[in-house]
Structures are given as C-alpha cells and as structure tokens.
Amino acid sequence: MIDIRSATAADLPVILQFIRGLAAYEKLLPEVEASEERLRATLFPAQGRPAAECLLAHWRGRPAGFAVFFHNYSTFLARPGLYLEDLFVEPALRGHGVGKALLLHCAKLANARGCGRMEWTVLDWNEPARGFYRKLGAVEMHAWRICRLTGPALAQYR
C-alpha cells in the first residue's frame, strides 16, 4: 500500500506542494521562498552534488508525503550522520503508517550509509509528532538549542 522512492526532477510540483503543506501546518507559510527552479538547482543540479535528497511516499498510488534529508558529520563519532530536514504527510492520509514508513526508510538508509546517528528537530508545540517520535525510540535533546544566522544577519558577512 505504501510505496517509497527517491524523488526525481519530474516530481518538483509535488515536492513544492508538500513544502507548502508543511509550512502551512507549522504556521510558517509566509516564510516559504522555495520555487520549482530553486528546488531543481539544489535537489537535482546539472553539475555537482545535490544539497539534499528527497523521498516520496505514495499511498495507493496517490502522493502521500515526503522526507528531505542530507548528511552531516559527527566529530565525536568520526562518522557521518543523517539529518532529516522535513517529514510531512498529507493530513487526510495520516494514521496509515506513511510517516513511520518514511522515517524508518531514512533510518535504514542511515544504517546502510554507515551513519552514527540520525537527527531532526520538532516544534515544541507539535505534541502529536513528538509522541510519534518517542514511540519509535527517539530521544529529545533538551540541553541543546538551535542557533541560526539567516536573512540580514547572515548577509552582513559577505
């Protein structure tokens, strides 16, 4: 029932739709700057390595959700890690195991690629997602805080 495959450039409209759906759920839709052109350049570049990878899940032949991830690195482990940037399932298709299938597919990829860990962030108010992750064995890292330079704060260092 659930089919997971790597996305291709032909999937850009669906990927962008999922990004907007995730942003709407997280109440961050005004922050979305992604376009099909930007996604093509970063996920499916003509030259060089992609910035990230994307998996698409289909439920009974219908696009149901996606996961976007990339590799990071742990100096403590001296091994790569897999960072899950986004995980989203269409609201009408939640509860059918699509999110779990996507997350576990990423975990299997992490193991196959020799990663020492898999990490992601979750909004503190998103208790359904937090509970879902805990059921799968994830541990929240309460002592760590995300720091970010973006927009003008980042641009000032050109």
For residue 55, give the CATH number of its domain. 3.40.630.30
Give catalytic residues, as residue numbers.
133
User: What percent of the chain stands above pLDDT 90?
Assistant: 99
> With 0-12 CB in 10 A as exposed, 13-18 as middle and 19+ as buried, what is 141?
exposed
Q: Phi and psi for 150 in degrees, rounded to 5? A: -150, 165
In this prediction, residue 24 has a pLDDT band, given cuts at 50, 70 and 90, of: very high
pLDDT tens for residues 4-20? Answer: 999 999 999 999 999 99
Angstrom distance (rounded) from CA 66 to CA 89: 7
Q: Which tens digit of pLDDT belongs to each residue from 42-87?
A: 999 999 999 999 999 999 999 999 999 999 999 999 999 999 999 9
Helical H segments across 34-150, by residue range:
36-43, 98-112, 127-135
- Taking only the tens place, the pLDDT of each residue in 132-148 is 999 999 999 999 999 99
The Cα–Cα gap between 151 and 37 comes to 20
Residue 5 is predicted with a pLDDT of 98
Count of the separate structural domains present in the chain = 1
Note the pLDDT of residue 137. Answer: 96
Q: CB of 21 within 8 A of CB of 88?
A: yes
Q: Which domain holds residue 116?
A: 2-155
